[in-house]
């Protein structure tokens, strides 16, 4: 009887420890804690090139080292595929962000936005052109699981049709959160 009680106490302790360990996890960190697109967050430049050969190195507009390689693969279990992956090297010299560029269409944009909202909840931040009724770009961000950040972005032509559709996952939030405005999805609430 005593050994059964000890086993029950031990099982309860293990269950409590497991619950405590996941209490701070969220949908983004649950999915991407180990890395993204088949690479861990500590992947080196060489590991990125080995996994996705045939790409080009350059720097982004902020001066971060970037590697872009063509690839066709499903994203978020959707029928829409990537056409290119772009990896940013972060402050520690390893992979910090991956952006999947999609074929630019309203169908792919809506599919990626809707799947992201289903998986991660409503986005909680946005970046757009200030003072514009129809912005040339929109970035929807999920930042609740910082340092993990998801961003869905589109750039639009003058008629509002998508010219660029991207899905980004990062473990270095500062790469993508500059210039964001907090939003709220609560009825009758002020947005900032």
- 28-70 confidence digits (pLDDT tens): 988 899 999 999 999 999 999 999 999 999 999 889 999 999 9
> pTM for the full model?
0.79
Q: What residues have CB less than 8 Å from 2, skipping those under 6 apart?
A: none
Q: What is the pLDDT of residues 164-189, one digit of tens each?
A: 999 999 998 888 888 778 776 554 44
What's the confidence (pLDDT) of residue 15? 35
What's the token pair of residue 40? 């861990």
Contact present, 40 and 90 (Cβ < 8 Å): no
Q: Which residues contact 119 (CB under 8 A, 6 or more apart)?
A: 27, 31, 76
Cα–Cα distance for residue pair 21/182, rounded to 1 Å = 28
């Amino acid at each position: 009887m005593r050994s059964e009680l000890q086993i029950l106490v031990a099982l309860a302790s293990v269950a409590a420890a497991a619950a405590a360990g996941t209490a701070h996890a969220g949908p983004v960190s649950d999915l991407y804690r180990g890395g993204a697109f088949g690479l861990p967050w500590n992947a080196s430049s060489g590991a990125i090139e080995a996994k996705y050969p045939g790409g080009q190195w350059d720097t982004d507009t902020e001066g971060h080292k970037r590697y872009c390689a063509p690839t066709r693969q499903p994203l978020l279990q959707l029928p829409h595929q990537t056409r290119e992956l772009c990896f940013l090297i972060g402050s520690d010299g390893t992979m910090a962000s991956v952006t999947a560029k999609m074929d630019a269409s309203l169908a792919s944009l809506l599919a990626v936005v809707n799947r992201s909202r289903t998986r991660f909840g409503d986005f909680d931040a946005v970046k757009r052109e200030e003072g514009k009724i129809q912005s040339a770009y929109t970035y929807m961000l999920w930042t609740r699981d910082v340092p993990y950040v998801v961003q869905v972005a589109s750039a639009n032509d003058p008629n509002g049709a998508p010219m660029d559709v991207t899905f980004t996952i990062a473990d270095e939030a500062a790469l993508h959160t500059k210039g964001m405005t907090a939003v709220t999805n609560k009825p009758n609430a002020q947005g900032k």
